[in-house]
A and B are shown apart, each in its own frame.
Chain A
């Protein structure tokens, strides 16, 4: 075989010792700030100076330059494509961020959402010309109410926390309507989402925390003691409970919790952020829930990212449904209509229009393409995957609680004891293995917590590779190789960042270097 002139095997060399002049490492390209790539003197588009039109801005006219960088179209495109390639995404690999439900966003959802009839609809066009969009909202509402066994749903909330606010405002409206102004205390278990107490306070309630028991669930003795002997005279307005909770555990006493709260004249808010572990298997209405938000961007596969848009429809019980916000869709003899004006019981309006329409089409597309049996299977697979991860790692890592989990597996840092490696170092080492780290140091009730939510959309092969990486990291940590963990990430575009300095002394504005500033004078 002739091999002259063309090397077919890589030359053995210490690759890490090569420093490129450009700072790039092949496809990992060095990227400047956009302010450094462009200058205010340049522009990518040639517009003629406007002439002959008097300015109508008066005193509001801009006095000086604002200094935005000018870039050509290819420069702009390259800048953002390079940045996007440094990003981790669900479309690149396993994204085990517990509590966040980073599941696959089916492409069918996107296709449906981009159909012009949905994509181009405007909230101010006459309802007679938007019947299809209203029907989507109506059918979506039907699915959500059916899956939850609840008689009403408010579609408008634009995120999970907004949905919480909706539910708690409905509870507040009901209490005010009944003249129960002494009911201002909301019970919040330690294992609840952090937004729960914040929402309660926002609605004018005080928060009373219930500790977790040894099993990671609500301490029933404490709950009973807080409600004992007062009946409906109790000042308890309700409870905000996440189920499954942030420890990834089903609150097994949930029926009794609902009964105790109702006996005290309070209402049961359930944080539905983890509803993806229940869909098709458990209906919150059967558990005695009065209000629950549903994160369409978790459970029903609409995208997270870029900060949104989220969508947090909130289902309401018979006791609360009259207090739901406007607008909502009704079906009349002439088709669908929007109820825009609140009656005296409704607590009013949460946003200008009807919520994030684009999420409704995506969520409904997900529901209808899966069918009720498919949704049930997705739930079961999510729980199965989490338990597969937990069972496959429990001999080298330490699970926070005994027994099976729901849709996420929770580990603590006992397996790292005396190794010198901390949860943070372990998470950074996962970056080198090509994975987005799991959620860390949350929930707070578990020391050095590592919360892993694989979701149903990962195959066994993908999970096995992930597990292999996690096992090898755990073994390496225990073998005394602290240094490589403290150095991690080694292969990421940016190495370990000084998060403490960034938090203490954040640099929030780019300022031009002195010579550039002078040149612009």
Chain B
């Protein structure tokens, strides 16, 4: 299982042809207290960079983009009732959606954890 990161602070954990998508703890900290999460419909086909979800905090509303293309197979419904999970556990329990990966080659342009950490340090 490997995790990849985007410059827009999404992460995707890949297991076989299923990818789990969330936002990084850096992003969650920058947003502040998350108050609302809007998740996509199951079955939706997304291209890389499409708007996959919306996350709203006390400071701002932001889009969450699909790190790579695929079809939504599952969403984390817990976030609708308990959006604070994103702040408490952005990297695991605060996941947004799972997708069936359309083209694993798209992962190549993304960052690994070390690269992403260096990228955040530079911001």
Please determine whether chains A and B interact with each other in the same assembly: yes
- Encode A239-263 as 1/0 by CB contact (under 8 A) with B: 0000000000000000000000000
Query: Do A444 and B60 touch (CB < 8 A)?
Result: yes
Complex contact A500–B60 (CB within 8 A): no
Report the bound CA distance from A500 to B36 in whole Å: 10
Of the listed residues A444, A499, A503, the one surrounded by the most CB atoms of chain B closer than 10 A to its CB is A503
A residues 491-521 in Cβ contact with B at 8 Å: 499-500, 503-504
Sample (8) of A-B pairs whose CB atoms are under 8 Å apart: A441-B59, A441-B60, A499-B58, A500-B35, A500-B58, A503-B35, A503-B36, A504-B83
Shortest C-beta distance, B47 to chain A (Å), equals: 13
A503 contacts B60, C-beta separation under 8 Å: no
Which residues does chain B contribute within 8 Å of A499, judged by CB atoms? 33, 58
Distance A500 CA – B82 CA, assembled complex (angstroms)? 12
Closest 10 CB pairs of A and B: A503-B35, A500-B33, A441-B59, A504-B35, A499-B58, A500-B58, A444-B60, A503-B58, A441-B60, A500-B35
- Cα distance A504–B59 in the bound complex, in angstroms: 13
Which residues on the A side are within 8 Å of B59 (C-beta)? 441
B10 contacts chain A at the CB level, 8 A cutoff: no
Cα separation A444 to B83 with both chains bound (whole Å): 22
Q: Classify the secondary structure of A's interface with B.
A: helix
Q: Does B91 contact A (CB under 8 A)?
A: no
**A500 vs B33: C-alpha distance when bound (angstroms):** 6
Residues of B within 8 A of A503 (CB): 33, 35-36, 58
Chain A residues contacting B84 (CB-CB under 8 Å) are 504
Which residue in chain A gives the minimum CB-CB distance to B123?
Answer: A447
CB-CB under 8 A from A500, the residues of chain B are 33, 35, 58
Interface centre among A441, A444, A499, A500 (most CB of B within 10 A): A500
Residues of chain A within 8 A of B83, CB atoms compared: 504
Q: Which residues of B contact A504 (CB under 8 A)?
A: 35-36, 83-84
A461 to chain B, nearest CB (A): 34
A72 to B84, CA, bound (A): 45
Closest to B33 in A: A500
Assembled-state Cα–Cα distance A499/B60 (Å): 13
Interface mask (A406-438 → B, CB under 8 Å = 1, otherwise 0): 000000000000000000000000000000000
Question: Whole-angstrom distance between the alpha carbons of A503 and B32 in the complex?
Answer: 13
Task: Specify the chain A residue showing the minimal Cβ separation from B61.
Answer: A194
Query: Which single residue of chain B is at the shortest CB-CB distance from A444?
Result: B60
New A-B contacts (13) at CB < 8 Å, excluding given A500-B35, A503-B58, A504-B36: A441-B59, A441-B60, A444-B60, A499-B33, A499-B58, A500-B33, A500-B58, A503-B33, A503-B35, A503-B36, A504-B35, A504-B83, A504-B84
Proximity bits, A327-348, B CB within 8 Å = 1, else 0: 0000000000000000000000
